[in-house]
Each structure stands twice: as C-alpha cells, then as structure tokens.
Structure 1
Amino acid sequence: MTNPSATRTARESDLPALRTIVRAALVHDCDAEHVLDLLWTQTSANPQLRILAEADGEPVGLALAAIRPATASAPTTGHTDLLAVHPRVQGRGIGRALLARSEGLLASAGADQLMIRGRPPYYAWPGIDIRYTRAVCLAESSGYTRGPEGLNMSVDLRTAPLATADDEARLAAEGVTVRRLAPADEIPFLAWMTQWGGSWDGEAARALTYDPPRGHVAVREGADGPAYVGFACHGVNRRSWFGPMGTESSERGLGVGTVLLRRCLADQRAAGLDEAEIGWTAPIHFYARGVDARLGRVFWTYSKGL
C-alpha cells in the first residue's frame, strides 16, 4: 500500500465500491448499504463533504459529513455522519486521514464546533456504537469529548404483544380515535408537531413521504373539532427503527402511547421484520412493559470545539 492517506471527493460512480466497504465494516448494521444511501442523499447540497480514501488506487474508506446551521441554542455545527474503513486495511491511519479531511472541510464551511453524533432529522444512529472499538479510539485520540450516551432497545416482533383492538375500543368510548396518519393530515398535523420542539416535526414529515405513511395518530373529538393528542412513527430513516413518538400530557395514563407503539410495530412485522429497534430511548420502563422491549445497543456521542 503506497499511500494510505490519499483522499479525494467521492463521486456517484464510487457508490458500488463504497457499498462494499460499508458492508464489510459496519458488521453491527445489517442495513449498512441503506445507511450509506440515506446519508449520501443528505449530502447532495455539499458534495465536497463526501470523502473517499484510496490505497494503491482502490477505494478503502469513506466519510460523509454535513453542516448543521446555527440555531438560537447551538452554533454552526459540523457533523461527521459516517466514517468506515474496510477491515483489511484498518489500523493503518486511513480512518484518521478521513476524519482530518472531514474536520478541515467542515471548518472551512464555517463550523464552530464538530460532532460525531446523530444529525436529526436524518440521523442513522445517535452516535458511535461502542462495539465499533476502533471508531471510539479514533474519536477519543482526536480530541473529541464524550457526551451523553444514547440507548436503543430491541423488540422481538415474533413474540411481542401487539394486539390493540380492545384498547382501541376502550379509547373510542372515551372519545379518542387511533388511526393511521394520512396524506390529508399533512398541514394540520405538521403544524401541531411544532410544539414538540427539536427535530420531531422533521422526522414526522418524513413519515408522510411513504405510501402508506409510516405513522399513526390519536385524535380526540372536541367542541372545536378533532384535535391530535398523540403520534408515533416508524421507519423514518431506517426501516427497522421505531420513533419518534409523543402523547399530550393531558392524555397520559389512558394507554394512548401503548396503542400507537403497538400499531407501528405491527406495521413493521407485517413488512417482514422479525426485530425492531427503538432508537434513542428515554422511557425504558414504558417500552419494556408495553412490548417486552430489551436494552440493546449503546452509543456514545462526541463533540470538539474549533
């Protein structure tokens, strides 16, 4: 290998080779090619942030980066969304060269801080799966500071309790209808979603782009007409992942969230999946009780000031 740190901008014609790399490197992600396609699409406005590493003229690694504009609470942030090196050449400085080029390009694009962390609403994962030990070592030896961890839970769709008919009948008697999100919901639903903050409205908007939409809503009839009181989405970015979901505080305790969760998981089971992954989990007890979910993957997030 004559030049392990040669990097250049990746092109569309490189995608077959890049798919081979991620299949080999992302051993804990069976949908690695889909992850590549998802993140590749999100860099279309800044193709210079698609980075390929070559050794002896052959593609051996890649990095995909993106800029997240400043908000009222955060500065302009550069994200390294994906970094993968073929296992046969790992440990030879290729990952470090890719990360260095990613950092340089992001700094030139105006980033005030760098992150190795999910970039909603298009994230593929919360951060670095800690089982990718080389990636963790690279981040920590490159000056990144470890931040909050993300926990995922897994659900065995073959055995999980997903029936909802009785609970839906009970909710209907109390004035709450649970149904699939529909294209006609787009304007009022997305207006309602803005109350949740963060990126949930963007993720929910993506749920509406599928046919049928990958989401369900709870609607309460009131004096002023129907009002959304809960929602849940699945497969927004990754086909087997569930989330986000939320229920109005006034409706909690009725079982609305459990029905929404089970309906989404039932969709995933009907699509042929045996397992679903609940991403970036917070209410662990809720998911464990509602669908026998179990703690699974652990992700570490990283940041670095410029």
Structure 2
Amino acid sequence: MTNTIRQYHDKDFDEVLALCQNTYKFDSLTKELLHEKIYEDPFFDPDIIWVAVEGTAIVGFLMGTIRMDIRGVNYGYVKLMAVEESHRRKGIAKSMYELLEKELRSQKVDVMRLGDVPMNYFMPGIDPRYTPALCFAMRMGFNRFMDTSNLVVNLLVREWIDEKKIMALKSDDIEVCRATIEDKDELMDFVAEEWKLWQFELKMAYKLNPVAIHVAKLNGKIKAFSAHSANNKGLPWFGPMGTHPDLRGKGMGKVLLYRCLEDLKNLGYKTAIIPWVGPIDFYSHHAGAVVERVFWRYEKKLAY
C-alpha cells in the first residue's frame, strides 16, 4: 500500500500520541506533555509538521520548528520524529525531512539541528540508544558536533533548605526568596542581559502556583535566579538557573538549586532531572547528581 505524506491536523493528535508512545521506548510521552511540545512551542507552525499515512493509519510523524536570529544564526529543527517500526526503511522519515528542509531553506534557515530546541524541547539531542535515529541523521548529512547530559538527583536522601547559608547571605545583604508577580518585569530584564532565550521558560514557570522560580536579591535587586517545571510538563525538570557574573562564587546558586529541589520533593517527586548540563561537577558536588542519560547533538549547515 502506498504511503501518503500530508500536513498534520489537530484531529491527528491522539493517533500521533499513540505512535510516539510506541516508538519513544526510553521516554514517557503523556497527552499533556505532547500537547505542550506541539502547541506550546512559541513558534508553532502547522505548515512544517507532517504525518505519513498508509490507508487511514498514521505511520509517521515529523514536527519542525524555527528559531531565528540566535546570535546571528537562523536555526531550523526536527523537534520530534517517529515512524512505526514496521514501516521503517521505506523512506518515510527521509521524505518528511526533505519537505521540512526545502521549506526551511526557503525561509533562509542557516543550520538544521535535531531535538535540542531552545525554549521548548523534549530532549537535548539524540539518546544514542535510539540507533535508527542516529543512522537517519548521518544519512541526511548531519554531523555530530557535541554531547550533553541529563543528570538525576535523589530527592529523598536529605532536606534541601540550607537555612545556615541563607542567613549567611542575608548578612551580606543578599535575600533569597520565591519570585513574585511584582518581580516579573525586573527578572525578565535581568535575564535579557545574558540569557534571553530563557525568558520563555521563566514565563512558563510563572504560570504555576506557587511560582516555580526563586531569586536572590542584592540590596533589593535581582542578581540570580533558578526555576523548575518550566519545560516538559509532568516531569521533575529543573532549570534554568543563572547568577550575575560579578556575584558568582558566593553560594547563591547552591541555595537557589536547593530551594527548587525542595519544591520538587514537596510536589511528590522522588527524583529531579537536571537537563542539558554544562557544569556537571557543580551539581554532583552540591546535590549528588549523577549522569543518567547522554545525548549526541547533530547539525547540518545549509548552503545557498
């Protein structure tokens, strides 16, 4: 039977969910989580999302998205992709990807990447256990350029609030507290200076009650922040977190991390995920975090 590729429609959601749940064997995609990945992407565009259909059954799915002008570069992404195992090696993924690349070339995208979509992502690259995805990336001309990791923290081993350190910071005129609605504009301005891409995640964390953001203020001015539950609904996701460069080393990051971990523990989670990690040693030292998963990152530079 011939496969037909067409653009995704809202009515396809439940069938796409079942397809993703069958193919993402090392992950758990709930209805709420997939809805967030598709519809809460800040640049959601149904014109660059496709399904492959055989008869009346959806056997393939590919979601593209765009992030323009990140430090002068226009990026296009394969955000999610799934092909029914029995229908692999029939060119379905290749055909959907070629439609995406053609469209994004017309929009002057410079670089294509797989999975690691700033602002709203599922996983920061390809888990190499998804070997068919690695093979697909190489066949489509992608090159591996970096690895990253997700860490996991056991939340049950201790209490996370460090009152002694909080008082020590207070003696240096640094107050640690949960962010309020009144802090929002100042926090967004602070983040814009060095971490503008994180503004979207912080806006998502502001939607929770209580607000899932903690801040450190020096003489009343925000100088550091940490957040949780800003991405991947239903998962114990930590981050983002940042401290003003002039004030690093004072211990604000540790205290803010701990406050978020305590929040996640109070929400009933047994573990916390620290994703897309750079400073592994920081989280290992202060929270006993260990590497849980490794992701390979791939990109393809588009020539014009």
Q: TM-score, normalised to structure 1's length?
A: 0.90
CA contact (8 A) 2:43 2:66 kept: no
- Match of residue 275 from structure 2: 279
Partner residue in 2 for 1:254 = 250
Worse overlay, 174-183 or 38-47: 38-47
Does structure 2 retain, via aligned residues, the 8 Å contact 1:83–1:99? no
Decide whether aligned partners of structure 1 residues 32 and 305 sit closer, same or farther in structure 2, where only a CA change above 3 A counts: farther
Letter in 1 for 2:228: H
Aligned mate of 1:302, from 290, 298, 301: 298
Output the TM-score relative to the length of structure 2: 0.91
Matched, 1:232 2:231: no
Q: What is residue 134 of structure 1 aligned with on the other side?
A: 132
Verify the 8 A CA contact 2:5 2:52 in the aligned structure 1. yes
| Partner residue in 2 for 1:167 | 165
Partner-residue secondary structure (3-state), 1:216: strand
Q: Who is 1:89 aligned against?
A: 87
Name the residue aligned to 2:214.
216
Contact 2:176 2:215 in 1 (8 A): yes
| Residue equivalent to 1:65 | 64
1:16-73 deviation per Cα after TM superposition (whole angstroms, max 9, x unaligned): 1011011111122224544421221127752111211112320112111012223552
1:49 aligns with 2:75: no
Give, in angstroms, the shift of residue 195 of structure 1: 1.8
> Which residue of the partner structure matches residue 15 of structure 1?
13
Shift, 1:242, TM fit: 1.0
Cα distance between partner residues in 1 of 2:48 and 2:34:
14
**Residues 228-260 of structure 1, C-alpha deviation per residue, up to 9 Å, x if partnerless?**
121101111114211111122343333211111
Tell me the secondary structure at the aligned position of residue 105 of structure 1. helix
Q: Give the 3 Å change call, closer, same or farther, for CA 302–96 of structure 1 in structure 2.
A: same
Q: Structure 2: where are the runs of 5+ without partners?
A: none
Task: State the AA in 1 paired with 2:279.
Answer: P
Tell me the secondary structure at the aligned position of residue 120 of structure 2: coil
**Contact conserved, 1:10 with 1:52, CA < 8 A, in 2?**
yes
RMSD: 2.0
**3-state SS in 2 of match to 1:295:** strand
Secondary structure at 1:143's aligned position in 2?
coil
Q: Percent identity?
A: 28
**Structure 1 gap ranges (5+):** none
CA distance in 2, matches of 1:246, 1:77: 24
Distance verdict in 2 for CA 1:126–1:45, change over 3 Å: closer
Total equivalences in the alignment: 299
1:116 shift after superposition: 1.4
Of stretches 245-254 and 268-277 in structure 1, the one that deviates more from structure 2 is: 245-254
How far did 1:209 drift?
Answer: 2.6
Report the alpha carbon displacement of residue 109 of structure 1 after superposing the two structures with TM: 3.3
